[in-house]
């Protein structure tokens, strides 16, 4: 249901960029986009070399634009160049824009508003960088960051970048087990956290979760704690340190360290098809350039804009489009701690009015949940400042796209449906506001320098026709791509480079229409997308199996009105346990505590057995069909390889009656 239904020929609806957006935009016609795009593909070395000098300030110039290829997975960009990311995001703006607002922060409560200038940002980052140095953090060390969506998170990321430490931000919604697996993998001896976070009027016990994690991870030396709510917390005098107090004792000047283009900048863990999250590693120059360049062109960013991305810094969207892209461009960036529903469903539109926001970037799941309310909730707020409305995280269904366009944008804004991944560092398929005619539900065309192809998923054969479908791959490296999986380069190659040799495999299904527009249909692997959060089914299953009642679990995604996909778990119980409310509640709690609240299964179905092949493989294809009520014999297809075919009938009845 959330997928784009090509049968109604959505591909024929074309919406031209509004004139007021095209006027004065950098790329103001589709011809200009095509011209630049062709240039970026035909002369990539010249193109990227020029961009790197235009967008970044170098301490010493690079000697080569790029090295390596997708077959070998040995990719590097802007070799031997020296720069510092925090210098690029702060210092170089000070001369002309010292008093410009760098960050507008809104807390969970609408009256908690804070504006931070570039100079104030500089002082905070320097103090924190010095504090980290005083704690023994060295270039190349990893620092874990588990914070609410507040400016403290931005200070922490940039302070790491300033001294060459590698940050690993852990989303504040993750639970204890998820924190442990991440800090163990990155072996972070320093953790930066806060007493509590606030979301929708409720507090989130961040420090408490870190205490539990640190109890298991004895190698953690220090926990820096930012005071956010002032709530009560436990204190471990040996390891804990109040961040703000300790920062006051540090000198507000810290020279930026010279980093090589290919030194690591950060790790960000994401779900894949297996249980263990992958620590994707991004490097300095290529990532920063790609984040800054996409930020400028995709949001048509101009100096006087008030740009707002309401994602969380715990995800790649927050890294690239709250922090690095906007600050590298000297923008005023907005950071929001709360939720779209608090104190009521007007919150986003209220913020747009209050700050005169010009670009607003959110996720389809938020749009779908807000569409349920009267349009009056939107219309009572002045949205005339808006120029560009962005969407990210999952395919946006045409109804949500149209609602966003008509009611939020009043038909006067460009809608940019931006397709990308943690691995790509920045947008790879996206409209450009002043140039690209859009089609509701399509992410449209590739960004500069991005070469796409569609392959047959089984044979790997290149689909050369314009109109075609299959799996989406990229054919050439680009500067923003993740370079490896932390300490698992072979897993990096296995996941991205080896499934279709010579190509980067996105894991997404796609179709291309007669006009060459791309329509992403969603993951083709065992990853589900719940409200734009990526979750591996294996990760969910292993959390369920951690519950004492659970013998075996199979998790699938099913179409869900608001979340895009919901989580359905089929569970078999161990001897002595029975199917009742309590068992189901405990199973849900187990996932909640292990991974986080956002991963709580929507439905759990207890079954005496799971459909398996004779060799013991769970047949998820069948479970997915049963869950989507596509359970007629024709729809289910061949069941002859099943070990116990009667299980299927049992589950069909059970899902229907549930």
Q: Which residues bind to ligand 6R9, rule: CB under 6 A?
A: 270, 315-317, 392-395, 417-422, 443, 506-508, 520, 522-523, 529, 532, 534
**Nearer Cβ to ligand 6R9 (314/601):** 314
CA distance 178 to 192: 16
CA distance 87 to 161: 9
Least Å distance, CB 534 to ligand 6R9, is 4
Least Å distance, CB 402 to ligand 6R9, is 16
Least Å distance, CB 289 to ligand 6R9, is 18
CA distance 533 to 529: 5
CA 42 to chain centre: 30
Strands 222-226 and 240-242: parallel
As given in the structure block, the two tokens for residue 75 are: 């990719």
> How many other β-carbons are positioned within 10 Å of the β-carbon of residue 107?
19
Determine contact, residues 620/554, Cβ cutoff 8 Å: yes
CA distance 167 to 165: 6
**Nearer Cβ to ligand 6R9 (106/417):** 417
* Distances, alpha carbon 191 to alpha carbons 140, 243, 255, 270, 439, in Å: 15, 11, 23, 19, 44
DSSP helix/strand/coil, 471: strand
**Nearer Cβ to ligand 6R9 (185/312):** 312
**Nearer Cβ to ligand 6R9 (300/417):** 417
CA distance 410 to 149: 29
Least Å distance, CB 397 to ligand 6R9, is 10
CA distance 142 to 191: 9
**Nearer Cβ to ligand 6R9 (529/631):** 529
Least Å distance, CB 272 to ligand 6R9, is 10
| Residue 487: its H or E element | none
Strand ranges inside 433-580, DSSP E: 452-455, 468-474, 484-485, 504-512, 518-523, 527-530, 533-536, 550-560, 564-573
The closest of 339, 336, 332 to 307, measured between CA atoms, is: 332
Strand ranges inside 396-474, DSSP E: 414-418, 452-455, 468-474
Least Å distance, CB 492 to ligand 6R9, is 15
As given in the structure block, the two tokens for residue 16 are: 């031209």
Least Å distance, CB 442 to ligand 6R9, is 9
> How many other β-carbons are positioned within 10 Å of the β-carbon of residue 94?
15
**Nearer Cβ to ligand 6R9 (87/321):** 321
**Nearer Cβ to ligand 6R9 (118/266):** 266
Least Å distance, CB 273 to ligand 6R9, is 12
Residue number, nearest CB to ligand 6R9 = 422
Which letter does DSSP use for residue 555 in this model? Answer: E
Determine contact, residues 240/262, Cβ cutoff 8 Å: no
Least Å distance, CB 166 to ligand 6R9, is 19
Least Å distance, CB 642 to ligand 6R9, is 30
DSSP-assigned states of every residue in 148-169: -SSHHHHHHHHHHHHHT-EEEE
Least Å distance, CB 472 to ligand 6R9, is 9
The closest of 347, 352, 362, 297 to 325, measured between CA atoms, is: 297
Helix, strand, coil shares of the chain as percentages rounded to 5?
A: 35, 25, 40
As given in the structure block, the two tokens for residue 596 are: 């986080």
Least Å distance, CB 358 to ligand 6R9, is 21
**Nearer Cβ to ligand 6R9 (224/367):** 367
As given in the structure block, the two tokens for residue 254 are: 């810290």
**Nearer Cβ to ligand 6R9 (264/522):** 522
| Residue 418: its H or E element | strand 414-418
> How many other β-carbons are positioned within 10 Å of the β-carbon of residue 380?
12
Least Å distance, CB 607 to ligand 6R9, is 29
**262 CB contacts (<8 Å, ≥6 apart)?**
76, 77, 79, 283, 284, 285, 286, 483
CA distance 38 to 32: 10
**Nearer Cβ to ligand 6R9 (77/321):** 321
* Distances, alpha carbon 233 to alpha carbons 20, 152, 213, 242, 594, in Å: 51, 18, 15, 12, 21
**Nearer Cβ to ligand 6R9 (415/651):** 415
Determine contact, residues 146/209, Cβ cutoff 8 Å: yes
Least Å distance, CB 422 to ligand 6R9, is 3
**Nearer Cβ to ligand 6R9 (121/416):** 416
**Nearer Cβ to ligand 6R9 (86/506):** 506
As given in the structure block, the two tokens for residue 379 are: 């219309």
**Nearer Cβ to ligand 6R9 (420/500):** 420
Least Å distance, CB 386 to ligand 6R9, is 19
**Nearer Cβ to ligand 6R9 (506/631):** 506
**Nearer Cβ to ligand 6R9 (188/391):** 391
Would you call the peptide bond into 343 cis, given omega within 30 degrees of 0 as the criterion?
yes
Determine contact, residues 642/612, Cβ cutoff 8 Å: yes
CA distance 423 to 316: 9
Least Å distance, CB 145 to ligand 6R9, is 17
């Amino acid at each position: 249901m959330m997928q784009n239904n090509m049968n109604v020929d959505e591909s024929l609806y074309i919406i031209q960029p509004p004139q007021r957006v095209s006027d004065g935009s950098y790329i103001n016609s589709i011809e200009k986009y095509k011209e630049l795009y062709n240039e970026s593909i035909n002369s990539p070395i010249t193109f990227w070399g020029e961009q790197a000098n235009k967008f970044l300030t170098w301490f010493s110039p690079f000697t080569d634009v790029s090295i390596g290829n997708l077959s070998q997975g040995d990719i590097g960009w802007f070799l031997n160049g020296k720069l510092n990311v925090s210098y690029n995001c702060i210092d170089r703006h000070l001369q002309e824009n010292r008093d410009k607002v760098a960050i507008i922060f809104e807390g969970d409560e609408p009256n908690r508003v804070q504006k931070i200038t570039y100079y104030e940002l500089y002082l905070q980052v320097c103090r924190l960088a010095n504090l980290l140095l005083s704690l023994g953090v060295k270039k190349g060390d990893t620092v874990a960051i588990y914070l609410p969506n507040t400016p403290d998170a931005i200070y922490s990321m940039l302070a790491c970048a300033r001294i060459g430490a590698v940050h690993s931000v852990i989303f504040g919604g993750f639970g204890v087990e998820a924190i442990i697996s991440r800090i163990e993998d990155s072996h972070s001896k320093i953790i930066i956290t806060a007493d509590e976070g606030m979301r929708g009027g409720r507090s989130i016990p961040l420090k408490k979760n870190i205490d539990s994690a640190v109890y298991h991870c004895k190698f953690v030396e220090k926990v820096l704690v930012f005071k956010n709510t002032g709530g009560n917390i436990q204190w471990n005098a040996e390891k804990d340190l109040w961040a703000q107090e300790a920062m006051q004792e540090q000198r507000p000047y810290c020279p930026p360290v010279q980093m090589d283009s290919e030194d690591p900048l950060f790790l960000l863990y994401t779900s894949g098809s297996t249980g263990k999250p992958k620590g994707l590693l991004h490097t300095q120059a290529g990532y920063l350039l790609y984040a800054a360049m996409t930020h400028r062109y995709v949001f048509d960013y101009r100096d006087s804009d008030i740009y707002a991305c309401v994602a969380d810094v715990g995800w790649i969207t927050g890294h690239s489009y709250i922090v690095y892209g906007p600050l590298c461009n000297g923008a005023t960036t907005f950071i929001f701690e709360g939720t779209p529903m608090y104190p009521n469903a007007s919150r986003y539109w209220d913020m747009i009015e209050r700050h005169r926001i010009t670009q607003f970037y959110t996720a389809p799941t938020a749009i779908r949940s807000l569409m349920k309310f009267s349009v009056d909730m939107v219309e009572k707020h002045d949205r005339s400042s808006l120029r560009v409305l962005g969407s990210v995280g999952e395919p946006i269904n045409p109804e949500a796209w149209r609602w966003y366009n008509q009611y939020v944008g009043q038909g006067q804004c460009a809608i940019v449906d931006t397709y990308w991944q943690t691995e790509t560092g920045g947008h790879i398929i996206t409209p450009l506001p002043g140039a690209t005619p859009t089609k509701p539900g399509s992410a449209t065309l590739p960004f500069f320098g991005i070469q796409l192809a569609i392959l047959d998923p089984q044979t790997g054969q290149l689909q050369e026709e314009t109109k075609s479908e299959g799996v989406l791959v990229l054919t050439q490296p680009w500067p923003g791509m993740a370079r490896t999986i932390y300490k698992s380069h072979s897993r990096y190659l296995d996941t991205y480079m080896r499934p279709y040799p010579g190509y980067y495999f996105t894991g997404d299904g796609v179709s291309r229409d007669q006009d060459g527009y791309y329509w992403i249909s969603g993951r083709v692997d065992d990853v589900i997308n719940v409200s734009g959060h990526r979750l591996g089914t294996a990760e969910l299953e292993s959390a369920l199996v951690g519950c004492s009642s659970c013998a075996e679990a199979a998790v699938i995604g099913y179409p869900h009105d608001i979340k895009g996909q919901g989580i359905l778990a089929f569970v078999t119980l161990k001897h002595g346990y029975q199917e009742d409310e309590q068992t189901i509640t405990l199973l849900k709690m187990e996932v909640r505590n292990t991974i986080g609240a956002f991963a709580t299964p929507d439905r759990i179905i207890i079954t005496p057995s799971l459909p398996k092949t004779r060799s013991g493989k769970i047949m998820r294809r069948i479970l997915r069909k049963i869950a989507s009520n596509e359970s007629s014999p024709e729809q289910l297809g061949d069941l002859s390889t099943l070990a116990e075919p009667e299980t299927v009938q049992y589950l069909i009845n059970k899902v229907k009656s549930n």
